[in-house]
A and B are shown apart, each in its own frame.
Chain A
C-alpha cells in the first residue's frame, strides 16, 4: 500500500502543480532584469503592503465569523439551524464581480481598505465555515462533557476543547482565505483596492508580457509559501480525536437568553453577505433598460455550469484523498511538505493557471484542446486546494489506530480504505466537493480561456452583458447562478443537518 499511495500522491501533485512549472519556466525565460525594474517602481511596495494588510485583516475576520457561525449552527439549540446550514454557504455562489459592484452601487464609501475588508469577509467566510462545521459535526461529545463535569464553564470548554479540536479545519479554511486574497483581483476591481495581483494582471493584460508576469507570480508564490508554512505551525499535525468514540451525537448547547442575539447576528451576517448582492441584482433588473428575461438557453447553460462544476468537484475530491492520506499516515517532513505544496496553486492568478493549461494542452494533449475535459481540468487545478482542505479536516477526525486494528485483524489494506477510512471521512468528502463545485460555478477568467468554443456557462453569459454595461440583462444570470448552487449545497451538506 505505501508505495502505490506515494506514487499516486506524487502524480496528483505533479498534475495540480503543473501551472507552477509553467510559471517557473516562463520566469526563467525573462530573467531578473524586468522583474527588478517592475519591483523598483513606486507602486510595487504599496501593492505589497496592501496585500499584506488586507490578508491579515480578512483572515482574522473570516476565522471569527466562520467559526462562530459553524459553532452556533452545529453545536447549539439555535432556531432554524437547517436553513442557516444551507444559507450560510451561499455567498460562495455570488460571483465576485457582483459582490464588489453591489456594494459600490449602494454606497461609494466602501471603496478602499475597509470596504475591501468588508466585502472580502462577506464572500470568503464560507471557506472557513464549511470545513469547521463539518468537523464539529463529527466531533466527539465526550470531550466537552468531561471538561464540563470537571467544572469548566461553557466558555472555557469552548476555548480549551472545541477550538483545539477544530484546529485543522479552522487552519485549513483560514489558509484558503489567505491564498485567495493573495491571488485575488476581480473583486477588488470595483472597490478600487489594488493588491500585488493587480500588478500581475497588468503585465498579462496591458503589457502582454507573460514572462514578466510570471516573475511577479513567483514572488506571489514566495508570499504564499510563508503563509502555508505558518499555517502548518498553527494547525499542528496531531489528530484531533481520541482513540475510541461511541458515535453519539452531542446534546446541543443551550443558548438560553443568548438565543435571540445569536439568531439576530446570523440573520445580520446573511443580510450583509447574501442580501446586499441579491438586492443589487433586483435593483439592476428593476431599473435597467436592458432588462429582459434571459433566453431559453439559460437552463441549458445552468445545467452545463452545474455539470462542469460538479464533475470538477468530484474529481478534485477524489484525487485529494490519496494526497491527504499520504501525508496524514506519515506526518514526516516530506509528507507534510508535499501536502502543503499542493496549496500553492491557489495563490496563482486565474489567468496564469488558464494560460499554463492552454500551453500544456496544445503541446502535449492536443486532442482535448478546448474541449469540456480541458475546462474541467482547469477547475480541478484551480480549486484542488479547497478539496484538500475538506479531506484533510475530515481525516483529522479519524481516531488513530482504527486502521491498524482492522489491518491487524487480517483485512487487506484496500478493504480497510473502503470499509473503514472512507466511510469515516464521507461527510468531509461531501464538503470538499461542495467547496469546489460552488467556486467553479462562478469562475470566469479561466472559463473564458478554456471553455469549448461555442459553449457558454452562466458566468460567461453574465460577462457578455456586463461588458456592454447591460446590468439589467445580466442580473438574471447571476440570480440563476445563486439559485442552482443551492442544489450542490443541499446534496453535499445534507448529512450534517439530519439530527
Chain B
C-alpha cells in the first residue's frame, strides 16, 4: 500500500513539475515516459544507487543506464565529452564536483517542484542541481582516547596534545570543505596555520577508508571523517568488535559541517523529461526511504523521512552547509598545496 501511495507521489510530482502529463489526466504522466532510456553518471555509493535505479525503473518504465565511478573521474569525463556527452544526469557525492561542471554551463535548471521537496539550503543556489542526501563531518576516535581529551573544535587538532596521534586524509574530496569553512570563518592565514599544525601532528592517509581502519586498529588515535565510514566499518567488523566511536564538533565550529550529495540534469540531455523525472524521484518519499534504510548510512534530506539507522538526528547538527560557501574548493586546495599536504 505504501508503494501505491508513493507511486502516486512520483507521478504527481512529475506531472506538476514538467507539465508533460497535463493533457494525459489520470495516470497518464508516467506512461508517457515508458520505454525511454536515460544515462546516469553516478559518483555516489554504487549499491544504494543501484537500488534507487531499480526502483525508479519499476515505477516509471524508464530504462536507466547507470555508470558508477569516482565522482572526480566522472566530472573529468563530462568536461572532456562536452556537448557530445551521452549523460542525462550527473549524481555527485559532494557539491564541488557539481560546481565544476556548473562553471562550464553544462547544467539545466531543475524543475522547481523537485527543488521544493528538500530544504532550499541543500540545493544549488541557482537551482541547477538538487540535494538528495547529506553526510556529517565527525571526529572518529579510538576508544583509548579519554573523554576529557576529546576535541570540541577542529582547531584543537592543530594543538600539541594531538602530536603524533592524528590521522588525516587531505586528498579526499570531503576534506577541503572543512578548510573552506575555516577560510570563511577566520581568513586564509588562520586556515594555513591550522593546516600546518595538522601536518605537524598527523599521519597522512590516502583515503577515509584506510584512515578509519587505522583509527580502529589504534595506529592513530583519531581523525576527521564523514560519519558513514564509521557505520560501514561497524557493519564489516561487527558492533561488538569495533573499537572506535564518533564525536561531533560543537555547533558553529567549522568542523560541524553537513555536506550534501546532489544530482543535476545535463543541459545537453536529449531526454530532459525523463531526466527531470529521475531527479524528482530521488527526492520523493520512496527514494528517500531507500536512502534512509540502505547501508550507505546517509541522511535523507526530505522532511519527514528519518534514517532507520542509529544516526545522530540531522536536526540536532548544525544545518546543511550552503554550497555557495564551498564553491569549487579552489582556495582551500591552494592552501593545502602551500602547506605541503597535497
Is the pair A449, B73 in contact by a Cβ cutoff of 8 Å? yes
Is the pair B39, A453 in contact by a Cβ cutoff of 8 Å? yes
Is the pair A208, B204 in contact by a Cβ cutoff of 8 Å? no
Q: Which 5 residue pairs across A and B have the least CB separation, nearest first?
A: A42-B340, A189-B206, A205-B72, A469-B232, A448-B69
Residues on A with C-beta less than 8 A from B210 are 101, 104, 189-190
- In the complex, A204 has a CB within 8 A of chain B: yes
- In the complex, B47 has a CB within 8 A of chain A: yes
Is the pair B340, A210 in contact by a Cβ cutoff of 8 Å? no
Q: List 24 A-B contacts (CB under 8 A).
A: A41-B340, A43-B342, A104-B210, A188-B206, A189-B207, A190-B206, A201-B171, A205-B73, A206-B329, A210-B76, A289-B237, A354-B73, A355-B80, A362-B80, A369-B86, A449-B77, A453-B65, A453-B86, A466-B209, A467-B45, A467-B209, A468-B295, A469-B212, A469-B232
Is the pair A468, B45 in contact by a Cβ cutoff of 8 Å? yes
Residues on A with C-beta less than 8 A from B67 are 370, 453-454
Is the pair B296, A468 in contact by a Cβ cutoff of 8 Å? yes
- In the complex, B112 has a CB within 8 A of chain A: no
Residues on A with C-beta less than 8 A from B204 are 192, 194
CB proximity of B333 to chain A, nearest CB, Å: 5
Instruction: Given A206-B72, A445-B73, answer yes or no on A471-B236 (Cβ-Cβ < 8 Å).
Output: yes
A→B interface (CB under 8 Å): 38, 41-43, 46, 101, 104, 108, 188-190, 192, 194, 198-199, 201-202, 204-208, 210, 287-290, 351, 354-355, 358-359, 362-363, 366, 369-370, 445, 448-449, 453-454, 460, 464, 466-472
* CA–CA, A46 and B341, complex, Å: 12
Instruction: Given A204-B72, A206-B173, A351-B76, answer yes or no on A469-B236 (Cβ-Cβ < 8 Å).
Output: yes
CB proximity of A407 to chain B, nearest CB, Å: 48
Is the pair B206, A208 in contact by a Cβ cutoff of 8 Å? no
| Sample of 9 more A-B contacts, CB < 8 Å, known A206-B333, A207-B330, A469-B229 | A108-B219, A189-B210, A206-B173, A208-B79, A208-B97, A290-B236, A362-B82, A468-B295, A469-B209
* CA–CA, A358 and B203, complex, Å: 36
CB proximity of B208 to chain A, nearest CB, Å: 9
CB proximity of A308 to chain B, nearest CB, Å: 17
Instruction: Given A205-B70, A289-B238, A290-B235, answer yes or no on A355-B46 (Cβ-Cβ < 8 Å).
Output: no
- In the complex, B27 has a CB within 8 A of chain A: no
- In the complex, B100 has a CB within 8 A of chain A: yes
Instruction: Given A190-B210, A202-B171, answer yes or no on A208-B236 (Cβ-Cβ < 8 Å).
Output: no
Interface flags for B215-247 (1: CB within 8 Å of A; 0: not) read: 001010000000001001101111000000000
* CA–CA, A108 and B229, complex, Å: 20
Residues on B with C-beta less than 8 A from A198 are 171
Give the contacting residue for B337; candidates A43, A192, A288; CB below 8 A: A43
Instruction: Given A206-B173, A206-B333, answer yes or no on A449-B69 (Cβ-Cβ < 8 Å).
Output: yes
CB proximity of B229 to chain A, nearest CB, Å: 7
Residues on B with C-beta less than 8 A from A194 are 204
Instruction: Given A43-B337, A205-B171, A468-B295, answer yes or no on A448-B235 (Cβ-Cβ < 8 Å).
Output: no
| Smallest Cβ-Cβ distance to B295: which chain A residue | A468
Is the pair A358, B236 in contact by a Cβ cutoff of 8 Å? no
B→A interface (CB under 8 Å): 39, 45-47, 65-70, 72-73, 75-77, 79-82, 84-86, 96-97, 100, 171, 173, 176, 203-207, 209-210, 212-214, 217, 219, 229, 232-233, 235-238, 295-296, 328-330, 333, 337-342
Is the pair A288, B236 in contact by a Cβ cutoff of 8 Å? yes
Instruction: Given A192-B205, A206-B72, answer yes or no on A453-B235 (Cβ-Cβ < 8 Å).
Output: no
Is the pair A41, B232 in contact by a Cβ cutoff of 8 Å? no
* CA–CA, A104 and B219, complex, Å: 11
Is the pair B77, A355 in contact by a Cβ cutoff of 8 Å? yes
CB proximity of B58 to chain A, nearest CB, Å: 17
| Smallest Cβ-Cβ distance to A351: which chain B residue | B73
Is the pair B203, A210 in contact by a Cβ cutoff of 8 Å? no
| Smallest Cβ-Cβ distance to B39: which chain A residue | A453
Residues on B with C-beta less than 8 A from A355 are 76-77, 80
CB proximity of A369 to chain B, nearest CB, Å: 7
Residues on A with C-beta less than 8 A from B205 are 192
* CA–CA, A71 and B327, complex, Å: 59
CB proximity of B170 to chain A, nearest CB, Å: 9
| Smallest Cβ-Cβ distance to B214: which chain A residue | A108
Residues on A with C-beta less than 8 A from B47 are 464, 468
* CA–CA, A204 and B74, complex, Å: 11
Is the pair B46, A467 in contact by a Cβ cutoff of 8 Å? yes
> Which of A358, A454, A468 neighbours the largest number of chain B CB atoms within 10 Å of its CB?
A468
Is the pair A207, B171 in contact by a Cβ cutoff of 8 Å? no
Is the pair B68, A464 in contact by a Cβ cutoff of 8 Å? yes
CB proximity of B36 to chain A, nearest CB, Å: 15
Is the pair A366, B84 in contact by a Cβ cutoff of 8 Å? yes
* CA–CA, A370 and B236, complex, Å: 34
| Smallest Cβ-Cβ distance to A290: which chain B residue | B236
Is the pair B80, A469 in contact by a Cβ cutoff of 8 Å? no
Is the pair B80, A470 in contact by a Cβ cutoff of 8 Å? no
Instruction: Given A192-B204, A206-B173, A468-B295, answer yes or no on A42-B339 (Cβ-Cβ < 8 Å).
Output: yes
| Smallest Cβ-Cβ distance to A291: which chain B residue | B236
* CA–CA, A46 and B337, complex, Å: 13
Is the pair A358, B338 in contact by a Cβ cutoff of 8 Å? no
CB proximity of B72 to chain A, nearest CB, Å: 4
> Which of B80, B96, B338 neighbours the largest number of chain A CB atoms within 10 Å of its CB?
B80
Instruction: Given A42-B340, A202-B171, answer yes or no on A208-B209 (Cβ-Cβ < 8 Å).
Output: no
> Which of A205, A207, A366, A467 neighbours the largest number of chain B CB atoms within 10 Å of its CB?
A207
Residues on A with C-beta less than 8 A from B329 are 206
> Which of A43, A206, A453 neighbours the largest number of chain B CB atoms within 10 Å of its CB?
A206
Residues on A with C-beta less than 8 A from B75 are 208
CB proximity of B207 to chain A, nearest CB, Å: 6
Is the pair B80, A359 in contact by a Cβ cutoff of 8 Å? yes
* CA–CA, A101 and B213, complex, Å: 11
Residues on B with C-beta less than 8 A from A41 are 337-338, 340
Is the pair A289, B236 in contact by a Cβ cutoff of 8 Å? yes
Residues on A with C-beta less than 8 A from B337 are 38, 41, 43
Residues on B with C-beta less than 8 A from A358 are 77, 80-81
* CA–CA, A22 and B114, complex, Å: 39
Is the pair B236, A206 in contact by a Cβ cutoff of 8 Å? no
* CA–CA, A216 and B183, complex, Å: 27
Residues on A with C-beta less than 8 A from B86 are 369-370, 453
* CA–CA, A498 and B280, complex, Å: 64
* CA–CA, A449 and B84, complex, Å: 16
Residues on A with C-beta less than 8 A from B80 are 210, 355, 358-359, 362
* CA–CA, A207 and B207, complex, Å: 16
Residues on B with C-beta less than 8 A from A472 are 236
> Which of B79, B84, B203, B206 neighbours the largest number of chain A CB atoms within 10 Å of its CB?
B206
* CA–CA, A288 and B205, complex, Å: 22
Is the pair A448, B236 in contact by a Cβ cutoff of 8 Å? no
Instruction: Given A41-B340, A108-B217, answer yes or no on A448-B66 (Cβ-Cβ < 8 Å).
Output: no
Is the pair A468, B232 in contact by a Cβ cutoff of 8 Å? yes
Residues on A with C-beta less than 8 A from B206 are 188-190, 192
Is the pair A362, B84 in contact by a Cβ cutoff of 8 Å? yes
* CA–CA, A198 and B73, complex, Å: 15
Instruction: Given A453-B65, A472-B236, answer yes or no on A448-B73 (Cβ-Cβ < 8 Å).
Output: yes
* CA–CA, A206 and B238, complex, Å: 32
CB proximity of B245 to chain A, nearest CB, Å: 17
Residues on B with C-beta less than 8 A from A469 are 209, 212-213, 229, 232-233, 235-236
